[in-house]
Structure 1
């Protein structure tokens, strides 16, 4: 993992449980969860950066689901190089996403981990994606609910983002239940790995 300047780095997550082990160390001055979902992330990160102009880097620690066609195992840590926001309703023809070709945002990925392409829709995907529809999404490897909102704001502030996501579930009908079972142990693993490289 990269080593970060603690005084100039916002370390964030979706909720407190994803950074609670770091909080016990009392050495990260910019350590705050920014909320679940793209919208909440965008609002909270924007507000935080306006109030803390000394922040020059953002690190996100979180979880993600792996799409069934990707080979990443449970518990693997990945570092996205791109994040998109494509909606399942659009894929299945239940709605029309505008713009029809939404932009994506780049991250400063950590080459010590698999560099992946993340999809960050507004809702958790609980649908099976058949072979025909898979062709339209197979460049996505993992799914996370916060990365698009976070990176969109960071790009406006011209602040680089590095994300570390631990795989907790397979995207699909059982994904949410798998996440509930696995997130705590997976988060502990991710936080402990991060702490080991920041001392």
Structure 2
């Protein structure tokens, strides 16, 4: 099953789950309780902490939930804040950070790179946590719309429609490759 966030980030071949960690966790849990999918593929936009360029496609099976305060030692969590459905230990995933906030402090965001976290997407951590709870293989495909800097929102708005087109082409191509095997 292919899922996406919703609101202005929808695709005709994906089921919207909600925006942010809470909406996506609630709605995906509901879906899994009543009609458990065999596989979950989340698709969406993402911001880059600096290594990935605008309109790059990034595939991952690993997500984190690290808040900006953690980066300055202003907060801690007793919870496991990284989850992965990657079973191929030879493949290193780009870690996708999820928060209900978009990072706009470029210098602080660079600290994510030191933790091997490459991009951010608001929903992916919740998707992988639900998938883990229901023992469902899952992954994500993202198209970069912006860098995590003071222009993040404006760049997201400027690049979002094109990123959705690129993402749709990529996902449909990958589906075609997988179904022709």
Q: Do the aligned residues in 2 keep the contact of 1:75 with 1:168 (CA within 8 Å)?
A: yes
* RMSD, aligned CA: 2.6
> Secondary structure of the equivalent of 1:182?
helix
> Cα offset for 1:150?
0.8
Distance 1:32 1:81 in 2: 19
> Secondary structure of the equivalent of 1:166?
strand
Q: Which runs of 5+ in 2 are unaligned?
A: 177-181
* Structure 1 partner of 2:41: 59
Distance 1:157 1:34 in 2: 16
Distance 1:129 1:91 in 2: 11
Q: Deviations over 1:71-93 (max 9, x none)?
A: x2211101123211110123245
Distance 1:85 1:196 in 2: 30
Is the alpha carbon distance of 1:130 and 1:103 closer, same or farther for their aligned partners in structure 2, counting shifts above 3 Å? closer
* Structure 2 partner of 1:96: 75
Aligned counterpart for 2:158 among listed residues 181, 184, 187: 181
Q: TM-score, normalised by structure 2?
A: 0.84
* Structure 2 partner of 1:85: 65
Runs in 1 of length 4+ with deviation above 6 angstroms?
none
Q: TM-score, normalised by structure 1?
A: 0.77
Is the alpha carbon distance of 1:91 and 1:44 closer, same or farther for their aligned partners in structure 2, counting shifts above 3 Å? same
